[in-house]
Amino acid sequence: MEPNANNNMHPDNCLGITPMEVHKVVPPPHRSTIQKLKSKLKETFFPDDPLLQFKRQPLGKKWILAAQYVFPILQWGPNYSFKLFKSDIVSGLTIASLAIPQGISYAKLASLPPIVGLYSSFVPPLVYAVLGSSRDLAVGPVSIASLILGSMLRQKVSPINDPLLFLQLAFSSTFFAGLFQASLGLLRLGFIIDFLSKAILIGFMAGAAVIVSLQQLKSLLGITHFTKQMGLVPVLSSAFHNINESMRKPKLFWVSAGAPLLSVILSTILVFAFKAQHHGISVIGKLQEGLNPPSWNMLHFHGSNLGLVIKTGLVTGIISLTEGIAVGRTFAALKNYQVDGNKEMMAIGLMNVIGSATSCYVTTGAFSRSAVNHNAGAKTAVSNVVMSVTVMVTLLFLMPLFQYTPNVVLGAIIVTAVIGLIDFPAACQIWKIDKFDFVVMLCAFFGVVFISVQDGLAIAVAISIFKILLQVTRPKTLVLGNIPGTDIFRNLHHYKDATRIPGFLILSIEAPINFANTTYLKERILRWINEYETEEDIKKQSSIHFLILDLSAVSAIDTSGVSLFKDLKKAVENKGVEASAWHLNCLFFSILVLVNPVGEVLEKLLRADDARDIMGPDTLYLTVGEAVAALSSTMKGQSSSYV
């Protein structure tokens, strides 16, 4: 028998509820287990349905579409014009003027040779131009990934005492970062990076910006002996304890940074002209000329440091991937085009895998560089190619010119770049919207500042996961009341004009029901019943006749959830028996009623309830209004019969 098969009735107006037709609750169409599994996998891993474009296409067209999907350059390349190139060459030269000094600076931030920063601005942009789907993303080294890479590797290896091993571990970490990133895209597991919420990223980047800026005190003050630790206390302590070194600072300390490339050029000329390197100014020194040498023979896949490089690659991979995709989507939204997240993961991942074999360390899309690229009028990824060619020319012919570049300028460039990562308006917005998210943001910030970069990030992620677990294990349950003059039922604490219906306790469960929250839900619902009866005793009104559960927001249920309804049915019936025993002159009956169980929930309840104890014709309704109207008529009729 179908649920509600005999519920097509028009009850009389009772208890102020308008009569209405009661509709059937129809079970979902039957699907096999294979069909359900296929649908679940598709919704989990292919929410964007990338194969849709291949449907109803001839074989030749499918091969073309497949090639364009893997290599986006084949999609826009055939239509590329000289007009687009004019815009891209301007933007490419512009971001190159930023990429060259930043590349050198960020490599030093990662405790790597400065030349590695330029290598990392040459090969990765070429790879991304072929595989990437963003028109505005400008790739290269970034401050946060550089900071994390350097700080994590320095825990075991000194870049000063063993620079070759440190460089090998950096390349190996880059390989594992790229492998992890590409795997996420290939297996369509991009939802993993969603655990880094906006609140975490804002707090993390602000904390990292503070630490990175303080670390530049070494260059800005000319201190020789400076701590390699990343915490606020050791950095400030090192600065104060070695302040005497900065007192010997040369007369040319006023050399500073304005626009990055201009400041590099001017300061280099001044240092060379006045021989400032002989008067205490620390300079980069001689840099190797030529293009990226191969480095696949330097990758470490065994030994005692394998765990370290995998861990470092995992952390830097997640952070750089999150930043790159967020930046790409930001500028795509401004220009009204789509960026495929999974393709971006594969592009950034392959970019780092190839980079690790060509003397590059972790790269991604940088916000500052991409903003310059966007504002300079970039039309396609060719701007990355132009930037790469400019860096190539620099590597081949201009490296001797950077020999006299002062480190103080590189420190100033880093501070200027990272200070913009502190986003006060976003922090204020988070405070206004969600106080818990604000706490998560503060934990990320103070964890990075006072403990370490990776520990601060881990603490913030752990708190965010704890928040998710709280939401899963402690779902919201709301008491619903009727909006007078309508058949609409809403939260009593939200809508002040909503009123209770005597004899009815109407609750809404607003989360999936599973093993993690059934105990809590049972205890909470029984508490609602006890609170209701206590209030009714005080008001000398009727006890509960019907417990109505609105399941509209319950998207899933498991076997523990099914057992919950059976336990609640027994508990509610026992309440009715107890009430009848205490009130001998009155009839009391308590019934559990379910409203609008959706798809999977209804199917599982029907399958588990062969005897129709829970899903009987008078205990299952499509809307709360229909349930109250029909049950009010039933309650009135039975009360009259008893009399």
For 275-291, write each residue's pLDDT tens digit.
Answer: 766 666 677 677 788 88
Q: Is the pLDDT of residue 240 over 70?
A: no
Same domain, 411 and 515: no
Residue with tokens 């946060």: 144
Q: Is the pLDDT of residue 328 over 50?
A: yes
Give the model's pLDDT for residue 572: 81
Same domain, 89 and 238: yes
Give the model's pLDDT for residue 3: 47
247: in domain: yes
Structurally, the chain folds into a number of domains equal to: 2
Beta bridge mates, 549: 507, 594
Q: Degrees (nearest 5) of the Cα angle 250, 256, 258?
A: 170
pTM: 0.73
Phi, psi of 97 (to 5 degrees): -65, -25
Select from 390, 406, 424 the last residue of a domain. 424
Select from 383, 403, 424 the last residue of a domain. 424
Backbone CA torsion sign across 64, 68, 69, 70: positive
- The C-alpha atoms of residue 468 and residue 175 are separated, in whole angstroms, by 32
Same domain, 169 and 295: yes
- The C-alpha atoms of residue 499 and residue 71 are separated, in whole angstroms, by 61
16: in domain: no
Provide mean pLDDT across the span 357-362.
94
Same domain, 412 and 547: no
Q: Degrees (nearest 5) of the Cα angle 48, 53, 56?
A: 135
- b vs e for 115-152, b when ≥16 Cβ sit within 10 Å of the residue's Cβ? bbbbbbbbbbbbbbbbbbbbbbbbbbbbbbbbbbbbbb
What percent of the chain stands above pLDDT 70? 80
- The C-alpha atoms of residue 569 and residue 562 are separated, in whole angstroms, by 11
Same domain, 400 and 479: no
β-pairing, 620-621 with 591-595? parallel
**Which tens digit of pLDDT belongs to each residue from 475-528?**
989 999 999 988 889 988 888 888 888 888 899 999 999 999 999 999 999 898
Residue with tokens 């209405």: 20
CB 481, CB 500: distance < 8 Å: yes
171 to 18, 149, 614: CA distances (angstroms): 73, 10, 62
β-pairing, 591-595 with 546-550? parallel
Give the model's pLDDT for residue 350: 95
Q: Is the pLDDT of residue 94 over 90?
A: no
- b vs e for 245-257, b when ≥16 Cβ sit within 10 Å of the residue's Cβ? bbeebbebbebeb
CB 203, CB 450: distance < 8 Å: no
**Domain enclosing residue 394, as ranges:** 83-424
Q: Is the pLDDT of residue 148 over 90?
A: no
CATH code at position 498: 3.30.750.24
Same domain, 168 and 306: yes
The distance in angstroms from the start CA to the end CA of the chain is 32
The amino acid occupying position 197 is S
Q: Is the pLDDT of residue 48 over 60?
A: yes
- The C-alpha atoms of residue 611 and residue 11 are separated, in whole angstroms, by 27
Same domain, 359 and 501: no
- The C-alpha atoms of residue 44 and residue 368 are separated, in whole angstroms, by 33
- The C-alpha atoms of residue 532 and residue 549 are separated, in whole angstroms, by 15
Give the model's pLDDT for residue 308: 93
- The C-alpha atoms of residue 93 and residue 391 are separated, in whole angstroms, by 10
Same domain, 209 and 337: yes
Same domain, 109 and 193: yes
463: in domain: no
CB 85, CB 382: distance < 8 Å: yes
β-pairing, 504-509 with 591-595? unpaired
Same domain, 316 and 401: yes
62: in domain: no
- Report CA 451 to chain centroid distance, whole Å: 23
Provide mean pLDDT across the span 569-577.
74
Q: Is the pLDDT of residue 302 over 50?
A: yes
316: in domain: yes
pLDDT tier at 383, thresholds 50, 70, 90: very high
Q: Is the pLDDT of residue 258 over 50?
A: no
226-230, 243-247, 592-596, 630-634: lowest mean pLDDT where?
A: 243-247
Same domain, 300 and 407: yes
Provide mean pLDDT across the span 233-250.
58
Select from 385, 404, 424 the last residue of a domain. 424
Q: Is the pLDDT of residue 356 over 90?
A: yes
Give the model's pLDDT for residue 312: 94
119: in domain: yes
410: in domain: yes
Residue with tokens 């991009």: 190
Within a 10 A sphere around the Cβ of 533, how many other Cβ atoms?
A: 16
77: in domain: no
- The C-alpha atoms of residue 403 and residue 377 are separated, in whole angstroms, by 33
Within a 10 A sphere around the Cβ of 205, how many other Cβ atoms?
A: 25
Same domain, 417 and 480: no
3-state secondary structure of 364: strand
Q: Degrees (nearest 5) of the Cα angle 119, 120, 125?
A: 115
pLDDT tier at 620, thresholds 50, 70, 90: confident
